Structure 1
Amino acid sequence: MTTVRGRPSLTERRRQETRMEIAETAAALFSERGYEATTVEDIASAAGISLRTFYRYCAAKEDALTPVLTSSVGALVEQLAGRPVDEPLTSAVRAAFDAPASAQRLADPDKARRLIRVMGSVPAIRTRWLAAGRDMQDQLIPVLAARTGATEHSMEVRLLACALIDALSVAMEHWAWQDEPADVAELTRRALAYLRVDELQAAARG
């Protein structure tokens, strides 16, 4: 249920907060102890909730991180949607990384890297990560259509969304697995430049 203005109701906001609290707790435990060593009971106890409440929000342990993945999706889409439509895509993505929300997520880089390793190496979680990536592509399509002037059904716009998400995913995974990683924003810029996404955006306009 939402308000007449389309904003979540108080009940829904509380549900979202609980989901995110469970997700952040699970992320911390997975990063510190490892996925296999962390039980549902551990997550529920650390989050201060009952097992019944945990299963009300998550069907299984591997579902606990879903809000972390989807919140990142929404934040990037929101940032890109707010950038000038004629701005090069590489600059817009870099600005999204510099936004306070992104900076907060990467405030503890070691923790973030451990979490990405978990997401990439645990098959059940990786499946959900890939699904989140597809969801991000779908959310980006109208944003990229507005930036290019093409329709949302354009193959070029869909390919641009796919290229952007793949570049971000590979850059983040590369960053997470390096012993002495470069700055993640710089790695992302390199990935986008390698795929020439600014040229792809210009081509989609054509």
Structure 2
Amino acid sequence: MAIAEAAAELFSERGYEATTVEHIAGAAGISLRTFYRYCPAKEDALTPVFTSSVSGLADELAARPAEEPLSKAVEAAFAEAASLRRLADADRARRLLRVMDSVPALRTRWLAAGRELQDRLAPVLAPRTGGDPESMETRLLAAALIDAITVAMEYWARGDGAEDVMALTARALRYLRIDHL
């Protein structure tokens, strides 16, 4: 995670292209050899950020009361996971999301993390909806939720900061009209 934190800071401050593996290793206080032991390439340096975000949302949603409406539960889980992760510092998070959205190699990893979250969310959503975790409907719901959150975050990152990421996420979830589930 130290490598990921250093890479996130450098990518958001300097940009992806201007940041070298040597910069990341130096900021993390490790050797290049240690960097490459954990990360085969520069674009892999953020993997722990992606995976911790993935596990955080699924864990928070699983902890929400079963009787809570789904959109409220997802919104609250996202808010809790975001406050524990990168989004606590809005300017830094916005810069990092812009980098992730603009660098194809990072975007691929960001999308893969979203797919992983879909797989983790399906078993959490199934009891709330009365569905099977492997059913098309439950998996579609997981995909729709992740895509709504992703679109809201990316929209927020591209904006001027006038809108709050939590408000945008809530708006995206309301648009899905999932409370009947």
Is 1:51 the counterpart of 2:32 in the alignment?
Answer: yes
Q: Displacement, 1:192?
A: 0.8
2:83 maps to a residue whose letter is A
* Sequence identity percentage: 70
Structure 1 pair 197/73, CA: closer, same or farther in 2 (3 Å)?
Answer: same
Q: Displacement, 1:195?
A: 1.5
Count of equivalent residues: 180
Q: Is the 8 A contact 2:7 2:24 kept in 1?
A: yes
Q: Displacement, 1:194?
A: 0.9
Q: Deviations over 1:178-200 (max 9, x none)?
A: 0133111110011011121223x
Match of 1:102 in 2: 82
Q: Displacement, 1:146?
A: 1.6
Is 1:128 the counterpart of 2:95 in the alignment?
Answer: no
RMSD: 1.1
Q: Deviations over 1:48-67 (max 9, x none)?
A: 00000000000000000010
Is 1:161 the counterpart of 2:142 in the alignment?
Answer: yes
Give the TM-score normalised by the residue count of structure 1: 0.84
Q: Which has the higher contact order (CA 8 A, sep 6+)?
A: 2
Which residues of 2 match residues 35-184 of structure 1 at below 5 A?
A: 35-99=16-80, 101-105=81-85, 106-184=87-165
Is 1:26 the counterpart of 2:7 in the alignment?
Answer: yes
* Aligned-partner SS, 1:138: helix
Q: Which runs of 4+ in 1 moved over 6 A?
A: none
* Distance in 1 between residues matched to 2:84 and 2:111, nearest whole Å: 23
Q: For structure 2, which runs of at least 5 residues remain unmatched after alignment?
A: none
Give the TM-score normalised by the residue count of structure 2: 0.96
Q: Deviations over 1:118-137 (max 9, x none)?
A: 11110000001110000000
Q: Deviations over 1:25-51 (max 9, x none)?
A: 000000000000000000001100000
1:103 maps to a residue whose letter is S
Q: Displacement, 1:102?
A: 2.4
* Distance in 2 between residues matched to 1:107 and 1:131, nearest whole Å: 23
